[in-house]
Structure 1
Amino acid sequence: MPDRLSTTYRYGRITLSRRGDLILILTISLLLTLLFMYWSYEVKIKCVGPPFYPDGRSHKWPVGDGDAIVPCYSDLAFLWVGRDINLHVFPYIHGGIGANGQLFGGSVEYPVLSGLLMWLGGIGSHTDVDFFRHSAVVLAPFGLAITAMLAVLTRWNVLWWALTPPLILYAFHNWELPVVATAVAAVAVMAWGASISPSTGRRRMTLRTSAVLASILLAIGFCLKLYPGFFVLPLAIYVLTRGMAPLGTSPPGASPPGQSSSGSGPPTRGPLDWVSAAWVAGAALLTVIVVQLPFMLLGYDGWRAAMTFQGKRRADVDTNSIWYWGLRHLTGGQNDTYNSLVGILSPLLIVCAFGAAVYLGWRQYGRTGLYPWIGVSAAMLAGFMVFHKVHSPQYTLWILPFFVLLRIRWPVIVAYLIADFILDTTIFRLFGIYVSGAPMKWWVIGGVNLGVWVHAVLLVYLIVAFVRAGPREPLASIGRRPPNNVASSAEPDDVPPSARVPAST
């Protein structure tokens, strides 16, 4: 029968061991991230270089080495011309969009914070090579930060991020790393706030405080590339339902998970915290307003041009979605019927996917007393990716952290990554064939279709699987204190369920 002292000792011993493991994991994963990002840099920079046109565009853009396994194409280099980045025009303020859909005056087709990062990468740049190099310097710290956070939250599972092809394929393909960093940081803030302080034996931050900070990060992500903003809804519902309960207990006002007050049936739901949920939603809304308002006031036409551009964008070959590779064949091509159906079905199905994810999360809450906000967020992202009219290959970086954070079966992850590699190594060759008018190669068109449809099937499956999959350890145990709130000089957050020692027997 262990006493309080022996319990403290066991927690301390396990924690010290795991801290040593964490240092090793951080070292290896960060070194791998550096290696893979350097590899990505070397692959992508081969598409640019002297000689240059007067606007700084490389003569050899975007051909590169046609025999390379990984195509050199990168949107970072592409964006140098056509958005006035090469003219060092501050974004949006003097911009707009022409009748032909062409952006001008510094407007870019991305939300304002991504536009600011592009402008920052253009400072001191005179060619597309300079811009690519400066952009890589801006992006690299975000990649390292993502690795560090995932390593702390999931230990060796971080290798799904740091040791798989997407980091090579997409680290310097577009401006994805900053927005991914905001989504992962929101999870990390929630985990830090829920972790138990060794000095007090209580949470480091209240649920409301940590959720408000996380919602601010998600709102910043919305101002980078939209999708993290979707996660504010499941986060608010998580706070509404008062978050997680300590191990061996239940949420306030509820019975233990899986039991009703009578000892059987679903858990009894406690009182909902509408005030805290409103704080979460309000913090996100206020952050978006603070970030967007200066651009709206100083250059409304340039600010609106980004949304207009995306609204007018058609589901063409370069958007790489199920609509182009599926629906187009049923409507006889990209005719008015096709465009009308995409315009209706795409947003409708996205909303339905969001609703399904939230509903499935609420069912989980009814069974376990815990609303799976991370899983619901991932499910919403999967629905958005499969049904949106644009599905760029680099979006794999968006969903990859959720493979790390949640207990998704490894065959599913491997299948997704293989399909992604096939898609990336064929779609950019397909673009070159279309532009040059060269004969189509069967393996190119076959690879693109295989990648698109395997992704589509898996993403539909993941809408359900993400919600049901719990977080990986030690994320799953962070803040889940043992019964009777046993005090410890060590961090109980890192102790796996199998190693927990009860306060008394």
Structure 2
Amino acid sequence: MHPRLLERTAMCVVAAVFTALNLLLKLPCSVPGPADVPRGAFVSQYGCWSDVAALWNNRQLAGHVFPYVTGSELGNGTVEYPTLTGVWVWLTGLPVGSARGFLVVTAVVAAVLAVVVTLLLIRVAGRRAWIWAATPPLALYAVYNWDLLAVVCTVAGVVAVLRAPASWSPLVRYTVAGAAFGLGGAFKLYPLMFLAPLAVAALLDADAALGARVRRTAAALGAGIGVLLAANVPFMLINFPGWASVIRFQADRPIGASTLSIWYYGFLPWSGDLDGPFQHTMSVMSTAATAIGILVVLAVTVVLGLRRGTTPWVQSAAALLAVYMVANKVASPQYVLWLLPFLVVLRIGGWWIAAYLVADVCAVVGFFRNTYYTALGAGMQTWAYQAMTVGIWGRAALLVAFVVLFLRAEVVTPPLLRGADEQPQADDQQGDEQQLDGQPPTRGRRSARTVAATPTA
């Protein structure tokens, strides 16, 4: 077997194995715990919480009722996520009749999705895809929720512009990328943010006449918004209250300890009252901070695009995500899966990546162990609480730094791939080794950067 094919196969196998490890971590919580142990203590002791298993019971998924079309509140098959996630949950739940079986089916699908993301990232960044396949997030969160659906769409959108087949015109590339981000938004809303920098690049990149740039901008936005509408309008027409129950749930969700956000832990003890008026204040502050951060990043993106003639739209998308993750009222543990592909695609130093992954592990491990110790009456002065604190604030500080680092970073120069590559094997291996070390490849740097910034037919 060719060494490069062998390494790619190894990446895919590792990604699937890490997903399986997460399944093994989550399985204990898919069945009732010991009768003499409170459920909260049992879940937090083993850190086996999973939204997948929990919602099987909490949202009555065992009834296999098609979501959003009946009732006006969550439950009876309706989950608190955008429509395509709800449909996906219903579809993958059909073959099973228990939370345990549902978790297993979800994990099998998640393994396939993890492999698809790995292959897409290899196409963009070569050996740096190990950062996705072989780091803790997949082993910790692959089956925590259904986030891999949106991750696949996000990475597909990036690949559509950076590494699409040479026969695709810029119009086709931007259309496919816009549709991918719109599809991702129908699974989890965050990929919709990426339509904005994509549209800015389509309009401002000085690689075509104004008319062509306007057409591809309209195509990108039209495809993204069109897919989003197609996934939502039918449900809105059939049962608007059921469709809107998702929005109401997210808007009314209190900022509690389980959100792991800076808002809750930064405003203790006032934030501890989940029903008090300060909840509304925190919600307003988080919304305003998120909106301001997004507008600032987009303004910088426009300035850079006008100044350079090429828009760093991938960098902008990553910065937008960092703003959202740090300023939003919820900082769920699995959100690191959203960030990881950008750490692969953008040339960010390994110490930055390692620091964030360590902080993330501290936050989630510290949270579950602290919850367990609290259930035992140990109070808050434990190593777990300290680890959680370091993790939460470490992540937040790094995300703020990432906003700047992302906007200044370069897209990783993609190694030449077999099929399009006609370089000798030794040259390919040297380029891949430089990719793994985080060093600029010595071959093809200028042309690859041009492709990344300004797609051509």
| Common fold by TM > 0.5 | yes
2:278 alignment partner, one of 313, 317, 338: 338
| CA separation of 1:489 and 1:124: change in aligned 2, threshold 3 A | closer
1:499 alignment partner, one of 424, 440, 443: 443
Query: How many angstroms apart in 2 are the aligned matches of 1:441 and 1:359?
Result: 44
Q: Does 1:455 align with 2:437?
A: no
Equivalent residue runs for 1:273-288 within 5 Å: 273-288=213-228
Q: Does 1:131 align with 2:95?
A: no
Query: How many angstroms apart in 2 are the aligned matches of 1:501 and 1:383?
Result: 30
Q: Does 1:373 align with 2:313?
A: yes
Instruction: Note the alpha carbon deviations across 1:273-332, whole angstroms, 9 max, x for none.
Output: 223212211111111111111211222111110110001011111211110010234778
SS at match of 2:64: coil
SS at match of 1:498: coil
Aligned match of 1:35: 17
| CA separation of 1:140 and 1:489: change in aligned 2, threshold 3 A | closer
Deviation at 1:145, TM superposition (A): 0.3
Aligned match of 1:94: 70
State which drifts further: 159-168 or 362-371.
362-371
1:73 alignment partner, one of 35, 42, 49: 49
Query: How many angstroms apart in 1 are the aligned matches of 2:64 and 2:208?
Result: 55
| CA separation of 1:67 and 1:83: change in aligned 2, threshold 3 A | closer
TM-score scaled by length of structure 2: 0.86
Contact 1:422 1:448 in 2 (8 A): yes
Query: How many angstroms apart in 2 are the aligned matches of 1:310 and 1:131?
Result: 24
Aligned match of 1:15: none
Q: Which amino acid aligns with 1:86?
A: A
Aligned match of 2:334: 394
Query: How many angstroms apart in 2 are the aligned matches of 1:293 and 1:444?
Result: 46
1:317 alignment partner, one of 228, 251, 257: 257
| CA separation of 1:405 and 1:500: change in aligned 2, threshold 3 A | closer
| CA separation of 1:208 and 1:502: change in aligned 2, threshold 3 A | closer
Aligned match of 1:207: 170
| CA separation of 1:337 and 1:491: change in aligned 2, threshold 3 A | farther
1:169 alignment partner, one of 130, 133, 140: 140
Q: Which amino acid aligns with 1:189?
A: A
Query: How many angstroms apart in 1 are the aligned matches of 2:34 and 2:235?
Result: 33
Query: How many angstroms apart in 2 are the aligned matches of 1:402 and 1:457?
Result: 18
Aligned match of 1:242: 205
Q: Which amino acid aligns with 2:187?
A: L
Q: Which amino acid aligns with 1:172?
A: V
| CA separation of 1:411 and 1:313: change in aligned 2, threshold 3 A | same
Q: Number of paired residues?
A: 431
More helix by share: 2
| CA separation of 1:52 and 1:365: change in aligned 2, threshold 3 A | same
Q: Which amino acid aligns with 1:442?
A: T
SS at match of 2:442: helix
Deviation at 1:349, TM superposition (A): 1.2
Deviation at 1:142, TM superposition (A): 0.8
Could you say which structure has the larger radius of gyration? 1
Deviation at 1:104, TM superposition (A): 3.0
Q: Which amino acid aligns with 2:296?
A: A
Q: Which amino acid aligns with 1:192?
A: R
Contact 1:360 1:464 in 2 (8 A): no
Query: How many angstroms apart in 1 are the aligned matches of 2:27 and 2:38?
Result: 11
Instruction: Note the alpha carbon deviations across 1:234-288, whole angstroms, 9 max, x for none.
Output: 0111111237xxxxxxx358xxxxxxxxxxxxxxxx8882232122111111111
Equivalent residue runs for 1:45-444 within 5 Å: 45-49=27-31, 64=42, 71-97=47-73, 103-193=74-164, 196=166, 204-242=167-205, 251-252=207-208, 273-329=213-269, 336=276, 338-433=278-373, 439-440=379-380, 442-444=382-384
Query: How many angstroms apart in 2 are the aligned matches of 1:188 and 1:343?
Result: 35
Deviation at 1:465, TM superposition (A): 1.1
Query: How many angstroms apart in 2 are the aligned matches of 1:65 and 1:296?
Result: 36
Contact 1:48 1:60 in 2 (8 A): no
Q: Which amino acid aligns with 2:223?
A: A
Contact 1:73 1:428 in 2 (8 A): no
Percent identity over paired residues: 32
Contact 2:150 2:191 in 1 (8 A): yes
Query: How many angstroms apart in 2 are the aligned matches of 1:455 and 1:145?
Result: 27
SS at match of 1:90: coil
TM-score scaled by length of structure 1: 0.78
Q: Which amino acid aligns with 1:44?
A: K
Contact 1:241 1:271 in 2 (8 A): no
Instruction: Note the alpha carbon deviations across 1:100-130, whole angstroms, 9 max, x for none.
Output: xxx2332211111111121123213222111
Query: How many angstroms apart in 2 are the aligned matches of 1:491 and 1:349?
Result: 49
SS at match of 1:95: coil
Contact 2:256 2:271 in 1 (8 A): no
Deviation at 1:438, TM superposition (A): 5.4
Q: Which amino acid aligns with 1:407?
A: R
Instruction: Note the alpha carbon deviations across 1:361-380, whole angstroms, 9 max, x for none.
Output: 23332443210111100100
Instruction: Note the alpha carbon deviations across 1:358-399, whole angstroms, 9 max, x for none.
Output: 122233324432101111001001001101001101100000
Q: Which amino acid aligns with 1:37?
A: T
Q: Which amino acid aligns with 2:52?
A: L
Q: Does 1:446 align with 2:386?
A: yes
| CA separation of 1:342 and 1:272: change in aligned 2, threshold 3 A | farther
Deviation at 1:502, TM superposition (A): 11
Query: How many angstroms apart in 1 are the aligned matches of 2:95 and 2:208?
Result: 57
Instruction: Note the alpha carbon deviations across 1:200-250, whole angstroms, 9 max, x for none.
Output: xxxx2111211111111111110101000110010111111237xxxxxxx
* Gap runs ≥5 in structure 1: 1-18, 54-58, 98-102, 197-203, 244-250, 254-269, 479-487
Query: How many angstroms apart in 1 are the aligned matches of 2:117 and 2:336?
Result: 14
Aligned match of 1:256: none
Query: How many angstroms apart in 2 are the aligned matches of 1:239 and 1:427?
Result: 43
Aligned match of 1:470: 410
Deviation at 1:442, TM superposition (A): 1.3
Aligned match of 1:44: 26
Contact 1:378 1:466 in 2 (8 A): yes
| CA separation of 1:463 and 1:271: change in aligned 2, threshold 3 A | farther
Query: How many angstroms apart in 1 are the aligned matches of 2:381 and 2:128?
Result: 38
* Gap runs ≥5 in structure 2: 432-439, 448-457
Q: Which amino acid aligns with 1:209?
A: V
Query: How many angstroms apart in 2 are the aligned matches of 1:295 and 1:238?
Result: 33
